[in-house]
Every structure is written in C-alpha cells, then in structure tokens.
C-alpha cells in the first residue's frame, strides 16, 4: 500500500512539474512572439528572415492558443501576472535585462 501511495505522489509531483514547465514555455514563447514584432520594418527584417519569422510566428500562435486559453481558464491571476512580467521584460533595455538574474536571486 505504501508503494502505491509513493508512486501516486511521484505522479502528482510529475504533473505539477510538467505544468510549471509548460507555463514557463508558454511565457517564453509569448515573449518571443511579442518581441519578434519589434524587428518588423528594420534592416534585419529581410526577405529570408521575414519568411522564417512569419512561419515561426504562425506556428507559435497555433501552439500557444490552446495552452494560453487553458492557463487563463485555470488561473486568471497567474496568467495576468505572467503577462505583466512579459511586458516588463519587453520594456527593459539591455542593461536592465543583464541585471534581471541578480534582482530575481535577491528575492528568492
């Protein structure tokens, strides 16, 4: 009986970790998607890159639509906090971005 309980606990922890990793991936992909918009219309945004980014953007949007909707339905506050943090990161300059790890480690 104890063996089944430990196995069940491991499965639950695995599900929790999988969910956390999925939330991180959704946030990173959303950040990537939003930041890609900043390159549109620049010299870097040439035909080949434009096509690749357009394809990637469509793929990310398709991939994210379900998980983002599910996350929003599961915990709207978590989703909003993540979106606020994505916006904060997008507004950072390179100096602030380089200090991000230090700031987070101080909070931990």
Cα–Cα distance between 64 and 26 in angstroms, integer? Answer: 7
**pTM as predicted:** 0.60
The pLDDT of 16-29, averaged and rounded, is 78
- What is the 3-state secondary structure of the chain? CHHHHHHHHHHHHHHHHHHHHHHHHHHHHHHHHHHHHHHCCCCCCCHHHHHHHHHHHHHHHHHHHHHHHHHHHHCHHHHHHHHHHHHHHHHCCHHHHHCHHHHHHHHC
**pLDDT of 1 strictly over 70:** no
The pLDDT of 66-90, averaged and rounded, is 82
Range of the domain at 26: 2-107
| Nearest residue to 53 (alpha-carbon basis) of 35, 68, 27, 65 | 35
Asked if 30 contacts 64 with a C-beta cutoff of 8 angstroms, the reply is yes
Q: Domain count of the chain?
A: 1
**pLDDT of 2 strictly over 80:** no
Give the pLDDT score at 4.
66
């Amino acid at each position: 009986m104890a063996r089944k309980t430990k196995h069940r606990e491991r499965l639950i922890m695995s599900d929790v970790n999988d969910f956390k990793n999925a939330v991180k991936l959704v946030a990173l992909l959303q950040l990537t998607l939003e930041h890609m918009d900043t390159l549109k219309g620049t010299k870097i945004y040439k035909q080949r890159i434009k096509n690749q980014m357009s394809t990637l953007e469509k793929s990310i949007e398709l991939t994210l639509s379900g998980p983002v909707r599910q996350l929003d339905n599961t915990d709207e506050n978590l989703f909003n906090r993540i979106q606020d943090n994505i916006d904060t990161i997008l507004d950072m300059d390179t100096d602030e971005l380089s200090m991000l790890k230090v700031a987070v480690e101080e909070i931990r």
